[in-house]
Amino acid sequence: MSISGLGKVYEDGETIIAQGDVGDCMFVVQTGRVKVIREDRGSEAQLAILGRGDTFGVMALLDQERRSATVRALGEARVLTVDKRTFLRRVREDPTLAFHTLRSLGDRVRLLSAEVVELRRRLDQDGTATTDSAGADRKEA
């Protein structure tokens, strides 16, 4: 890892944040790309590839909960860390930043919702499971 100019440069495969860590800041990809990975029972699922201008870690900035995913550099990537104080100061200077951040979170929720619908559709087509109105999965007889 080297620091050069604004942000920090991460080498290919280097972990930027780890799932389960407590978070108190967000990140902005300045150059390069990063991959977002969710780890479960020893396997990894790639959730997204993010590039220049994309943000990650925003939820932890807002709620200071544990990180929900791991983010690793995909090739060399320069990533800027933004702590809560800096974020709030920038929002006061430019309130549209809050709007853009919320829109970005909304876009991600919309994308995840569409993926859930697609997964449920596939399960229903396979006849292996259906979901009742309470969201509980049950096997078809």
Domain count, the chain: 1
Q: How many CB atoms are closer than 10 A to CB 56?
A: 22
Residue, of 23 and 11, whose pLDDT is higher: 11
Does 117 map to a domain?
Answer: no
Does 20 map to a domain?
Answer: yes
Nearest C-alpha neighbor of 52 from the set 26, 15, 78? 78
Does 34 map to a domain?
Answer: yes
Q: What is the pTM of this model?
A: 0.75
Q: Rounded to 5 degrees, what are φ and ψ at 2? A: -130, 150
At residue 127, the pLDDT reads 72
Q: Are 74 and 50 in contact (CB under 8 A)?
A: no
Does 18 map to a domain?
Answer: yes
What's 14's domain CATH number?
2.60.120.10
Residue 25 is part of which domain span?
2-93
Residue 88's alpha-carbon distances to 58, 64, 67, 79, 115, in angstroms, are: 12, 15, 20, 19, 32
Indicate whether 55 pLDDT > 50. Answer: yes
Instruction: Give, as one character, the DSSP assignment of residue 65.
Output: -
Does 129 map to a domain?
Answer: no
Does 88 map to a domain?
Answer: yes
Does 78 map to a domain?
Answer: yes
